[in-house]
Amino acid sequence: MTDHMPDDLSAAGRDLRAYTDELRPKHPVVRNVADEWVLLRHADVAAAALDHERFSSAVSRYLQVPNGLDGDEHARYREVIERYLTHDALVPFVPVFKRVAAQLVVDLPRGVVLDAVSDIGAVFAVRAQCEWLGWPAELEPRLLTWMQENHAATRSGDRAWTSDVAEQFDEIIRSVIQPRRAAQVDAPDDVTTRLCRETVDGRLLTETELVSILRNWTGGDLGSIALCVGVIVAQVAEQPGLAARLRTASDAEVDAIIDEMLRIDDPFVSNRRVTTCPVRIGGVEIPSGARVKLNWTSANRDETVFDNNRFDPQRNAAANLVYGIGKHVCPGRLLATWELRIALQALLASVNTIEPAPDQSPEREVAPVGGYHRVPVVLT
Ligand code: HEM
C-alpha cells in the first residue's frame, strides 16, 4: 500500500456518496478490495472516458452490446441502437408516457406513507418501458419482482445469485423476442419487432445480440430510472421551494433542474474500463491490463469543478457527467430525461404537497448501489 491510499478500501455497507466525498480530496485514485483502480475526480473520470485507446470497454467475458465493445465494432452496433433513441423516434411515446404517469399518480393513495422508489419510480419505469418496447402489460409483476431481486443480489455482492438473476432476465427477454423472430409476417409492429429485424454487417442480429441489447435497455435502466425518481422526490420533499419553482418552470428548465439534482446525488454510480497499456492518471501509475472504475457519482460532486456543490442548474450543466462522456455516452439520455420529467410533472400536477413522512427518514443505498433504498413521503 502506498501513501495515496486509505487503510480501508472496502465500500461495502457504506453510502457511496458520503464515502467518496471523504476520500476524493486526498485520494484521487483508490485501489479497492476487488483490485480495481477507482477514479474519483472529475478531470480523471472524464479523461479516461474520452481516452478510448488506452481505456478499453472490453471488461466482461460476456457479450455486452454496445457497452462492452470498442472501436469500429462498437460504432456499427451503436448506430443501430441510436435509431431508436432519437428525438423523432421518441416523440410518439410522449403522450403514452404522460398517460402512464397520470394514471399512476391518480391511483397513489393520499395521506399515507409511500416509498418513492418502489411505489412510484419502479412502477413507472416498468410501465413506461413496456409501452415503449411493446411488451405485454402482464409482464409488469414479473419485471417488478425481478427488479427487487436484482437489486438485492447486486447489494449482496453474491456473484452466483447475481448471475442467476441475470439469467432470469434473459429468459423474460427471450420470451418476448422468440415469437417475434419466428413470425415473419404478423408480429406486432413495435420497437422490439423492429429491433429483431435489424441487420449488422449484412446479417440479422443474432438472438444473443438481441438479448444483450435489450438487457442493456431495460435491466440496468429500469433500476436507474427508479433510483433517479427516488433522488428527485427526496429533494423535492426536503425543499418545498423547489416544488414551487418546478411547477412554473418550462420543460427545458425542469430538465436542467433534474440534471442538477442527479448530479448532486447520482445514483448511476460507475462504469468499468481496462487499461491497454501502462497509464499515469491522477498522479498514479496504473499498469496495463488493470481494471479501472470511472466513479460518476464522485466525479459529479468534485468540489473543485462544481463550486462546492452549490445547486446551480445553469452553471453546472456543461460539466455534468450523469449520462457519461465520450463514445459510450448514454444513448438513452433523451428517453430517460423525458421519462423523468413526465413522471415529476404528473406528480406535481396531481398533488398539493409532497412531504417527508413524519418519524421516518429516507434510507440511503449502500455500495455498490447509489441513491436511496427507500424514500418515505406523504402526498396530500
Ligand atoms: C436513468 C437514467 C440513466 C442514466 C443515469 C444513464 C447513464 C449512463 C452512463 C453514465 C453511460 C455511460 C457508460 C460508459 O461510459 O461506460 C450510459 C451508457 C448507456 N446507456 Fe444509459 N443511463 C440512463 C438511462 C438509459 C436508458 C433509458 C437507456 C435506453 C433505453 C440507456 C441506454 C444506455 C446504453 C445502451 C449505454 C451504452 C452505450 C455505449 O456503450 O455506447 N440508458 N448510460
Q: pLDDT tens, 357-368?
A: 999 999 998 888
- pLDDT: which is higher, 6 or 323: 323
Share of the chain above pLDDT 90, in %: 83
CB of 321 closer than 6 A to ligand 1? no
Ligand 1 nearest-atom number relative to CA 329: 12
**Residue where the block lists cell 457479450:** 63
Q: 62 pLDDT band (50/70/90 cuts)?
A: confident
Specify the ligand 1 atom closest to the Cα of 224: 1
Task: Give the pLDDT confidence of 300-320 residue by residue, as tens digits.
Answer: 999 999 988 899 999 999 999
Candidate from 11-15, 24-28, 32-36, 169-173 with smallest mean pLDDT: 11-15
Least confident range of 40-49, 140-149, 246-255: 140-149
**Which of 147, 221, 297 maximizes ligand 1 atoms within 8 Å of its Cβ, making it the mutation to test the pocket?**
221
Mean pLDDT, rounded, of the chain: 93
List the beta bridge partners of residue 271: 294
Would you state the pLDDT for residue 4? 45
Tens of pLDDT, residue by residue over 220-238, are 678 899 999 999 999 999 9
Say whether pLDDT at 120 is over 80.
yes
Q: Which atom of ligand 1 is nearest to the CA of 262?
A: 5
Instruction: Return the ligand 1 atom nearest residue 68 CA.
Output: 40
Q: Whose CA is nearest to atom 30 of ligand 1?
A: 217
Tell me what the mean pLDDT of segment 231-254 comes to: 96
Q: At what angle do helices 220-238 and 240-248 cross, to 10 degrees?
A: 110
CB-based contact 151:145 (threshold 8 Å): no
Pocket flag, ligand 1, residue 323 (CB < 6 Å): yes
Tell me what pLDDT residue 7 has: 53
Is the CB of 37 inside a 6 Å radius of any atom of ligand 1? no
| Cα→Cα distances 273→58, 119, 243, Å | 7, 34, 39
* pLDDT at residue number 183: 77
Which atom of ligand 1 approaches the CA of 326 most closely? 15
| Inter-axis angle of helices 159-182 and 140-156, nearest 10 | 150
User: Directed axis angle between helix 94-107 and helix 122-133, to 10°?
Assistant: 150
**Which residue ranges make up each domain of the chain?**
16-379
Please give the distance, rounded to the nearest whole angstrom, from the Cα atom of residue 331 to the centre of ligand 1: 6
Q: Which CATH number fits domain 16-379: 3.40.1160.10, 1.10.630.10, 2.60.40.1120, 1.10.150.170?
A: 1.10.630.10
The three cell numbers locating residue 266: 447520482
Q: How far is the CA of 212 from the centre of ligand 1 (A)?
A: 14
Within 26-177, strands assigned E span: 29-31, 37-39, 55-56, 113-115
Stronger pLDDT, 95 or 62, i.e. the higher one:
95
**For 128-184, how does the pLDDT look when each residue is reduced to its tens digit (9 = 90+)?**
999 999 999 999 999 999 888 988 888 888 889 989 998 999 999 999 999 999 876
User: Residue 380 and residue 378: Cα distance in Å, rounded?
Assistant: 7
